[in-house]
Amino acid sequence: MGSEEKCGVLRGKYELGRLLGHGTFAKVYMSRNLQTGKSVAMKVVGKEKVIKVGMMEQIKREISVMKMVKHPNIVDLHEVLASKTKIYFAMELIRGGELFAKIAKGRLREEVARNYFQQLMSAIDFCHSRGVYHRDLKPENLLLDEDGNLKVTDFGLSAFTDHLRQDGLLHTTCGTPAYVAPEVIGKKGYDGARADIWSCGVILFVLLAGYLPFQDDNLVSMYRKIYRGDFKCPPWLSPEARKLITKMLDPNPSTRVSISKIMDSSWFKKSVPKTLRSKEEQEFAVVEDEGVVARGKEIETLNAFHIISLSEGFDLSPLFEEKKREEKEELRFATTKPASSVISKLEEVAKTKNFSFKRSDSCVRLQGLENGRKGKLGIAADIFAVAPSFVVVEVKKSSGDTLEYNQFCNKELRPALKDIVWTTPAGNSMPAA
Told to judge if 196 belongs to the known catalytic residues of this protein, a careful annotator would answer no
The sign one gets for the Cα dihedral 103, 185, 71, 258 is negative
Give the Å distances, CA to CA, from 393 to 105, 195, 252, 316. Answer: 56, 44, 51, 19
Strands 300-301 and 375-387: parallel
Q: Are 240 and 270 in contact (CB under 8 A)?
A: yes
In angstroms, how far is the first alpha carbon of the chain from the final one?
47
CA 120/CA 259 separation, integer angstroms:
11
Give the Å distances, CA to CA, from 83 to 89, 138, 382. Answer: 12, 32, 46
Nearest partner of 152 among 237, 94, 101, judged by Cα = 94
Nearest partner of 43 among 61, 64, 57, 24, judged by Cα = 24
CA 143/CA 151 separation, integer angstroms:
5
Q: What secondary structure letter does DSSP report for 314?
A: G
Active-site residue, from 136, 154, 196, 250:
136
Nearest partner of 122 among 94, 151, 88, 143, judged by Cα = 151
Distant-in-sequence, close-in-space partners of 156: CB < 8 Å, separation ≥ 6:
58, 59, 61, 62, 136
Q: Are 58 and 25 in contact (CB under 8 A)?
A: no
Confirm whether residue 418 is marked as ligand binding.
Answer: no
Strands 363-372 and 355-359: antiparallel
Nearest partner of 157 among 186, 143, 136, judged by Cα = 136
Nearest partner of 195 among 224, 223, 171, 214, judged by Cα = 171
The sign one gets for the Cα dihedral 114, 115, 116, 120 is positive
CA 81/CA 42 separation, integer angstroms:
10
Give the Å distances, CA to CA, from 384 to 106, 305, 350. Answer: 59, 13, 21
Q: Cα Rg for the chain, rounded, in angstroms? A: 25
Known binding-site residues for ATP equal: 47
Residues with catalytic roles: 136
